[in-house]
Structure 1
Amino acid sequence: MNITGNTIFIPGATSGIGLALALRLQQKGNTVIVGGRRTELLEQIRTEHPDIHTVAIDTTDPGSIDAAAASVIAEHPDLNVLVTMAGIMRVEDWTSPAGFLATAEATVTTNLLGPIRLIGAFIEHLQTRPHATIMTVSSGLAFTPLRVTPTYNATKAAIHMLSESLRLQFDGTTVEIVELVPPAVRTDLMPGQRDSEFAMPLDDFVTEVIELIDTQPDATEIQVDRVKFLRHAESRGDYAEVVATLNRLDPH
């Protein structure tokens, strides 16, 4: 992925990693459109960052995805990058069946069906562009599980394998598949995460991501150094130790 000269749509970018990444990419010379459900946040972004474009979208709603895709493509026909950022992370207790099913289903809808539907809505257009990128967003927890978030872990593992599979299908075309693999980052994804010493400062994370995209334009995975502890545990041969360490450190 080139670091500049793109038209980029980032649904799920009204806060956290998505918004921080959108602002940095706009500063690098890209046209950036952010999407989200909360209209008050979209209005705030338009006011504070007039060079950022916005569109209302609920990635849990297929109709909303289709409407937003039609609007974005009509207003920004040069669109060539889709970043499937939207996601949720919730604590679950599978030992109490009544306490996890609704949360698990919502997580699958947002974290897995959302990106699948987004790609489905944009892929025909992206294939018309001379150079296009789909950036998926998995997690270090796709590779090393956190005990309290089983469905989140599973959906991110699915996103990783989806990314690997789509890369095979689009090999030789103008569409590239890039997977962003974040560690825990200081955002509001989970209660208390913004102030967690275990999580990576947001500004540091986005700075490293931008540097990696800039210096490694052909990378298929964007891995900051902080996530490699989780990402490569199995290949290093210390998977059991990493799982134990992660779940000992986790504040939940």
Structure 2
Amino acid sequence: MIDARQARAKAHNEASWMSGERKMSGERKSGVLITGGGSGIGLAMAAEFLKRGYDVAICGRDPERLAAAKGKHPGLRTMEADVARSEDHARLASWLAAELPHLSVLVNNAGIMHASDFRGSVGLGEIRSELDTNLLAPVALTAALLPMLVRNEKPTVVNVTSGLAFCPSAEFPVYCATKAALHSFTLSLRHQLTGRVRVVEIAPPIVATGLDKRSQARRPAEGSGPPVLSAETFASEAVQRFEQGEAEIVIGVANGLRQRGEALFADMNP
């Protein structure tokens, strides 16, 4: 169900983006870059975009994962890059200019999740890795690639946040804070770029990925806790709703977090 906020967000972007709807089913669709695309929901979204005819590039830090992704989906373009490093933004922009000059959709998906307990010792390196990858990277990469996006039709920035952007899990304080900040940034970016660039937020629920294996191992048995979506199920719904023109795509149990926000904090953090 789309609430009033989601409806306003959809209307805010829909007119300019959907006016460029493709007239021929055989026409080449947009070029898409997905960060953190070597595994998890990034790879699942890449596969879904490919299936729907998009020209898809992924980047990630792990060359073996990128090679495996390319082996499974030969249509993918891949580049090894760490979006937390500003120097890699320039390399990525140069590579895209040559490999995917028709890039019009940037999907900021790369993310790191650590369980951090501030009652004990928390390392600065662990904190910085989450801040740099989850927040600084999408903000800075958006700034770096916007000039390329706006040269093409239907320029779009997609920020992948989380249901935890709306109500945090105290086990992951830094991760949740970065996703809340990215949600805030997305609202402001959408406002600034109205009529020029479509800005989309995708907020996943719990998805079966390797983002945090320790947390997944501690989750309740099947049927006794929140449903866990497969990455493929998530990606299918997310990309379908993206194509339908939605600007705020909140999926599964993340809807409850979006609607009730911090009112759920005590229930989530006993």
TM-score, scaled to structure 1: 0.88
1:225: Cα distance to partner?
3.1
Q: 2:231 aligns with which of 194, 199, 202?
A: 202
Aligned to 2:207: 185
Q: How far apart, CA to CA, are the structure 2 residues paired with 1:203 and 1:46?
A: 17
Q: Which runs of 5+ in 1 are unaligned?
A: none
1:172: Cα distance to partner?
2.0
Tell me the amino acid that sits aligned with residue 94 of structure 1.
F
Tell me the amino acid that sits aligned with residue 70 of structure 1.
S
Work out whether 1:211 is the aligned partner of 2:221. no
Tell me the amino acid that sits aligned with residue 24 of structure 1.
E
Q: 2:248 aligns with which of 188, 208, 221?
A: 221
Contact 2:116 2:171 in 1 (8 A): yes
Pairs within 5 Å for 1:139-178: 139-173=162-196, 175-178=197-200
Contact 1:12 1:85 in 2 (8 A): yes
Aligned partner of residue 99 in structure 1, secondary structure: coil
Aligned to 2:13: none
Aligned to 1:71: 95
1:102: Cα distance to partner?
2.8
Contact 1:33 1:54 in 2 (8 A): yes
Q: Deviations over 1:215-248 (max 9, x none)?
A: x31x2111113211111114xxxx43x2222234
Contact 1:55 1:72 in 2 (8 A): no
Greater RCO, CA 8 A, separation 6+: 2
Contact 1:92 1:100 in 2 (8 A): no
Aligned to 2:128: 105
Q: How far apart, CA to CA, are the structure 2 residues paired with 1:26 and 1:50?
A: 10
Q: 1:87 aligns with which of 89, 98, 111?
A: 111
Q: Deviations over 1:51-70 (max 9, x none)?
A: 11111111111111210121
Tell me the amino acid that sits aligned with residue 229 of structure 2.
M
Work out whether 1:114 is the aligned partner of 2:143. no
Structural RMSD (CA): 1.9
Structure 1 residues 105-114 or 13-22, which shifts more? 105-114
Q: How far apart, CA to CA, are the structure 1 residues paired with 2:210 and 2:68?
A: 18
Contact 1:93 1:100 in 2 (8 A): no
Work out whether 1:22 is the aligned partner of 2:46. yes
TM-score, scaled to structure 2: 0.83
Tell me the amino acid that sits aligned with residue 116 of structure 2.
E
Contact 1:142 1:156 in 2 (8 A): yes
Q: How far apart, CA to CA, are the structure 1 residues paired with 2:48 and 2:149?
A: 22
1:167: Cα distance to partner?
0.6
1:131: Cα distance to partner?
1.4
